[in-house]
Amino acid sequence: MIHRRFSTSQLLSWFGCIVLVASVSALKVSAADPKLEVQLVWGTNDETSPDAKHKPLEEALAKKLGMFKWKKYFVVNRQEIPVSATAQKIKLSEKCEIEIKNIEPSRYEINVFGKGKHVLKKTGKITNDPPFVIAGDDKNDCAWFILIREH
Amino acid sequence: MNQDTELNLQAYLDEELSEGEARKISVQLKNDAQANALIEELRFIKVGLRENELELKLPESREFYWSKIQREINRDVKVASPRATLRWWKPGYVRFAGVFAGACALLMLSFFAFDGQNDSRAMDEVEGTGEDMGSITYHSDKENMTVVYLFDRDPERMIDSK
């Protein structure tokens, strides 16, 4: 039987290679973690928002929402979050929360909660443009929108 | 002039009669002053309706407007229809149960034969709302954008986002 012996330098070279491959893989995984932009938007026919902190929604997105009857859209909350395979809960307002999980590249599972109660589960593709939109009626003939897009 | 003749005159005006029937009415119109007066009146109304109907401009996109109407229809249907009692022993239901069992068997077979994890579209259909909520998913071709619009089944109780 032939026994092959590795020298210390050979062993170190192999170890280095393994560490390098592992680092590159880890880097690749972390680079693959997508970032999502989530915005809670309020649609109204009033010219201004009662809350001065609310900024008007960027023009391109407001134009996309032109299919709805509301004239003005204000950003109530905007967050950029890295999303992983572990579900992550994001508080958009006192009463509105969403939970996002990355299933596979560009595919996400989204759960929406209103006043702590689960109201929607949706799984699908989210890209940078157009955004994925979840909406609903609000009081005083207004509406809320959750706009999600890859960042 | 009886009601049938009146209806035939209306159908003649709308070009809904066969060639033979239309010919008969043409002959009648040459000799019957009353029929002539009626068809003139009907023609006047038809033109008036076509040219003077007010055009209504929708405040939102066509798809969204109709989806709201569909939502109201669905809600009314649910309210109007009394809860049916399932009499599973009736022959119709037994047949249905057979079909259902067959479908379940096929589903189970396909589940064991096919690994759904490799199919990227397998999750597309998973969607659910809470008991109190309904949703309409629609796609705007113009913006190439999908919108899931949530609504409370009880209109008195809405989600307050703020």
List the single residue in B145, B152, B160 with the smallest CB-CB distance to A133: B145
Cβ within 8 Å of residue B78, ≥6 positions away: none
**Size of the A and B interface in Cβ pairs below 8 Å:** 113
Selection from A73, A65, A114, A55 nearest residue B143 by Cα: A65
User: Which amino acid is it at A117?
Assistant: K
Residue B118's pLDDT is what?
Answer: 38
Q: Which residue of A has its CA nearest to B137?
A: A134
> What does the pLDDT profile of chain A (151 residues) look like in tens digits?
555 566 666 666 666 657 656 655 554 444 557 899 999 999 999 988 888 889 999 999 999 998 888 999 999 999 999 998 899 999 999 989 999 999 888 889 999 998 888 888 888 888 888 899 999 888 888 999 999 998 8
Task: Name the residue with tokens 């955004």.
Answer: A131
Averaged pLDDT of chain B: 75
A136 contacts B63? CB cut-off 8 A = no
For residue B27, pLDDT over 70 is answered with yes
> Which residues of A fall within a CB distance of 8 Å from B147?
67, 133-135
Quote the CA–CA distance of B132 and B152 in Å, as a whole number.
6
B60 contacts A121? CB cut-off 8 A = no
| CA Rg value for chain A | 23
For residue B119, pLDDT over 50 is answered with no
Quote the CA–CA distance of A78 and A57 in Å, as a whole number.
10
Cβ within 8 Å of residue A32, ≥6 positions away: A105
Quote the CA–CA distance of B66 and A84 in Å, as a whole number.
38
Cβ pair A131, B145 in contact under 8 A: yes
List the single residue in A114, A123, A133 with the smallest CB-CB distance to B159: A114
In this structure, chain B runs to a length of 162
Classify the complex by whether its ipTM is higher than 0.85, answering yes or no: no
Q: How many CB atoms are closer than 10 A to CB B118?
A: 7
Q: Which residue of B has its CA nearest to A112?
A: B129
Q: How far is B78 from chain A (nearest CA, A)?
A: 20
